[in-house]
C-alpha cells in the first residue's frame, strides 16, 4: 500500500496493483551467475497490454550489461523512456524491515522515473534518480524525493 501511495503522489497518476505470480521468462536466465537478464525481463513485461507503465518485482538476482561487463548485477532496470521496469529485492535485503521497505520504495521510484524519461541525476546525491553505481549505500543516502532539477524535468516530460 505504501508503494502505491508513494508512486501515486510522486508521479501524480493512478496506480493499479495487480497481485499474482508470474514466472520469470526462461530466456532471461543466465546460468553462469544464476541470475536473470533484466533486459529480457523488460521485453517480457512489455507484452502486458492495458497499462501505461508496469513494474515487475522479483526476489531473483538480476543483471544487465554495463560498458564491457556483460553480467552486471543491478537492483532494478527501467526502459528510458518506456513502459516497463523491473525491481529485484535480492540486493536490497537487510534484517531491518523498515530499511528494506525504504530501499524498495526508492528503487521502485527510481526505475519508474526512467520509464517517465528521467536519466540519472547528477545534481543531487539525495535525489532518488541518482545512479546507485552498484552500491546500496547510495540508495540509503537518497531521499524519497526528486531534486528541484529532476522535478522540473519530469514536469516537462509529462506535459
The domain locations on the chain are 2-119
Residue 130 catalytic? no
User: For the segment 133-149, what is each residue's pLDDT rounded down to a tens digit?
Assistant: 878 999 999 999 999 99
pLDDT of residue 71: 94
Exposure b/e, 120-157, CB count within 10 A at least 16 = b: ebeebeebbbbebeeebeebeebeebbbeebeebbeee
pLDDT of residue 1: 74
User: For the segment 40-50, what is each residue's pLDDT rounded down to a tens digit?
Assistant: 999 999 998 88
pLDDT of residue 100: 97
User: Which of the residues 17, 102, 111, 130 is marked catalytic?
Assistant: 111
pTM, 2 dp: 0.94
pLDDT of residue 2: 85
Distance in angstroms (rounded) separating the CA atoms of residues 58 and 87 = 6
Q: Domain 2-119 belongs to what topology?
A: Collagenase (Catalytic Domain) (3.40.390)
Query: Which residue ranges of the chain lie beneath pLDDT 50?
Result: none
pLDDT of residue 67: 92
Amino acid at each position: 500500500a505504501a508503494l502505491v501511495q508513494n508512486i501515486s503522489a510522486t508521479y501524480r497518476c493512478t496506480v493499479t496493483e495487480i497481485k499474482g505470480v508470474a514466472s520469470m521468462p526462461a530466456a532471461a536466465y543466465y546460468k553462469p551467475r544464476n541470475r536473470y537478464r533484466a533486459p529480457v525481463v523488460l521485453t517480457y513485461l512489455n507484452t502486458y497490454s492495458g497499462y501505461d507503465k508496469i513494474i515487475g518485482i522479483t526476489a531473483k538476482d538480476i543483471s544487465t550489461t554495463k560498458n564491457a561487463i556483460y553480467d552486471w548485477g543491478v537492483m532494478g532496470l527501467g526502459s528510458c523512456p518506456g513502459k516497463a521496469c523491473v525491481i529485484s529485492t535480492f540486493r536490497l535485503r537487510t534484517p531491518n524491515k523498515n530499511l528494506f521497505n525504504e530501499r524498495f520504495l526508492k528503487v521502485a521510484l527510481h526505475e519508474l522515473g526512467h520509464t517517465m524519461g528521467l536519466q540519472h541525476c547528477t545534481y543531487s546525491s539525495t535525489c532518488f534518480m541518482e545512479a546507485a553505481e552498484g552500491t546500496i549505500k547510495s540508495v540509503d543516502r537518497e531521499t524519497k524525493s526528486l531534486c528541484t532539477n529532476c522535478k522540473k524535468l519530469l514536469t516537462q516530460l509529462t506535459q
